[in-house]
Amino acid sequence: MQPKTIALILLIAAIGIIAIIALLTNNDFRYEKKIKTSYVDIKGSSYLPEIIEINAGERVVWANRDSLIHTVTFDTGSEQSSSNLGLNEEYGHIFNIQGTFDYHCENHPSMKGKIIVK
């Protein structure tokens, strides 16, 4: 056989092996898993809405729409808190376990919110 023929056979075999592996691993490369997301606006030194109910595995995104710097700081420390959020900055967190998660602003302790995860 000529070298070009051997190279063509090897290329076809490699493509076939890759196709078989892709089928056997049952991966769907076309779609990302969509995570349901709820939003909290930080406006007027308040979390709006103040209380959100979500299911485990869902995300909450806080968006600072206030000119002041705010944080999302969980009271118990069981969840990762945000750093300082300036105007139009966001912080997102996925809640994987059920429970009630109270939080506040480190810079303005009277600002309080609650996430209830079912």
Segments making up each domain of the chain, as ranges: 37-117
Residue type, position 107, single letter: N
Tens of pLDDT, residue by residue over 57-115, are 999 999 999 999 999 999 987 789 999 999 999 999 999 999 999 999 999 999 999 99
Residue type, position 103, single letter: Y
- pLDDT value for 24: 66
- Does 31 have pLDDT greater than 60? no
What lies within 8 Å, CB to CB, of 26 at 6+ separation is: none
Q: What share of the chain is helix, strand, coil (3-state, %, to 5)?
A: 20, 35, 45
CATH of region 37-117: 2.60.40.420
Token output for 100 = 């009630």
Q: How is 11-23 classified by DSSP, letter by letter?
A: HHHHHHHHHHHHH
Specify the pTM: 0.71
**Pick the residue with more confidence: 3 or 42?**
42
Average pLDDT score over residue span 44-63: 97
Q: Residue 50: which of 62, 63, 60, 40 has the closest Cα?
A: 40
- pLDDT value for 56: 97
